[in-house]
């Protein structure tokens, strides 16, 4: 009916339900490991449903979640109402993109971009990040990647990647970063624990599975693989991951891109 509120897309709901969270350890490192009580103004760029935004707010920082996808942001707004007031009060949402950030010049102490930088125009996005970031500010990027040294992960990859592994998204980290300030990379290992049905839902959220003509057969194979790996005691299986994290601290004086 004309004028009725738009329903949130199922893909946004699924994304929020099954994608892995961002740990406090990773997020704190991306922000420069600030001491407890040091409250930062943070931009979470390409925030999606705010899985990272919530962690930033829980750490006590004020965070503005920016994304182009209104369905994703609507999930975050709904979740915000369910959070404790001391956390919810730290979160603001805004529609925008990495190429057009809806914030004032030099207005944030730090920027995070989680699982999203490979979608942006790097030249325009870098210029915008420079504009809104304060001198000596921190810019952090991270991706959850599969731990392909694990035998179970290799078996999963054989099902969903018949043509081989996709391009490493971390290659989209701007090459100029290493020359623009204090640059560091750190890998964080973690096991994403989930039930078999959640594994199947997670796989269905991957674009390279969702777009396949044999999607049902692929998901059935994944279910079988999960059932072989699940713990009979807990009903939980472990999906080994590595979070590849990068951070750049700008010098105190402005830099040119």
Alpha-carbon distances, residue 34 vs 14, 72, 185 (angstroms) = 33, 28, 17
The label of the residue with tokens 């182009």 reads: 68
The answer on pLDDT for 9 being more than 80 is no
Share of the chain above pLDDT 70, in %: 95
Is the distance from CB of 140 to CB of 196 less than 8 angstroms?
no
β-partners of residue 249 are 138, 182
The answer on pLDDT for 206 being more than 80 is yes
Residue pLDDT, tens place only, 103-150: 999 999 999 999 999 999 999 999 999 999 999 999 999 999 999 999
pLDDT of residue 119: 92
CA 124 centroid distance within chain = 20
Q: Of 15-24, 40-49, 97-106, 168-177, which range is least confident?
A: 168-177
Is the distance from CB of 248 to CB of 181 less than 8 angstroms?
yes
Q: Of 12-16, 89-93, 172-176, 235-239, which range is least confident?
A: 172-176
Q: What pTM, to 2 d.p., does this model score?
A: 0.91
Average pLDDT over residues 86-102: 97
pLDDT of residue 8: 54
> Quick one: 10-146+168-190+242-249 is in which CATH superfamily?
Vaccinia Virus protein VP39 (3.40.50.150)
Enclosing H/E stretch for 139: strand 133-146
Question: Which among 249, 133, 135 is positioned nearest to 182, based on CA atoms?
Answer: 249
- The structural domains of the chain, with segments of one domain joined by +, span 10-146+168-190+242-249
């Amino acid at each position: 009916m004309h004028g009725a509120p738009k329903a949130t897309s199922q893909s946004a709901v699924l994304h929020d339900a099954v994608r892995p969270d961002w740990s406090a350890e990773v997020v704190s490192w991306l922000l420069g490991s600030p001491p407890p009580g040091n409250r930062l103004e943070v931009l979470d760029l390409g925030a999606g449903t705010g899985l990272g935004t919530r962690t930033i707010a829980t750490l006590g920082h004020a965070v503005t979640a920016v994304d182009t996808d209104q369905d994703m942001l609507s999930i975050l707004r709904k979740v915000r109402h369910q959070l404790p007031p001391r956390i919810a009060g730290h979160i603001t949402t805004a529609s925008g993109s990495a190429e057009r950030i809806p914030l004032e010049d030099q207005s944030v102490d730090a920027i995070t971009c989680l699982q999203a930088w490979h979608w942006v125009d790097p030249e325009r996005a870098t210029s915008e990040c420079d504009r809104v970031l304060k001198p000596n500010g921190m810019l952090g990027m991270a991706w959850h990647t599969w731990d392909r040294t694990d035998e179970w992960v290799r078996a999963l990859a054989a099902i969903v990647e018949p043509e081989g592994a996709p391009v490493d998204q971390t290659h989209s980290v701007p090459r100029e970063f290493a020359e623009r300030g204090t640059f560091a990379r750190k890998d964080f290992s973690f096991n994403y624990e989930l039930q078999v049905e959640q594994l199947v839902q997670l796989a269905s959220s991957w674009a390279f599975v969702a777009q396949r003509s044999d999607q049902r057969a692929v998901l059935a194979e994944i279910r079988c693989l999960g059932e072989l790996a699940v713990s009979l005691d807990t009903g939980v299986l472990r999906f080994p991951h590595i979070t590849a994290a990068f951070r750049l601290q700008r010098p105190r004086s402005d830099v040119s891109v």
